[in-house]
Amino acid sequence: MEEQAINPQHAQMLQILITEHSNLQATRSATVFEANGRATVFLSAV
């Protein structure tokens, strides 16, 4: 098998995409957590 040289530009692009994905995943998790909390408060008040 041939080993491919790592292009620094591709490595940086991959790092940016992974960081963006992690940020979006954390935001989605926080949104779900907050929605569940609000639903729990609403249902306990009813």
pLDDT of residue 1 exceeding 60, the answer is no
Indicate if the pLDDT at residue 18 is higher than 90: yes
> How far apart are the C-alpha atoms of 42 and 30, rounded to whole Å?
18
User: Predicted confidence band at 6 (pLDDT cuts at 50, 70, 90)?
Assistant: confident
Q: What would the two tokens of residue 19 be?
A: 């960081």
| CA–CA–CA angle 35, 41, 45 (5° rounding) | 145
What are the pLDDT digits (tens) for 26-38? Answer: 999 999 999 999 9
Coil, strand or helix: which one is 2? coil
Predicted confidence band of residue 2 (pLDDT cuts 50, 70, 90) = low
pLDDT of residue 4 exceeding 80, the answer is: no
Q: Which two tokens stand for residue 40?
A: 């729990």
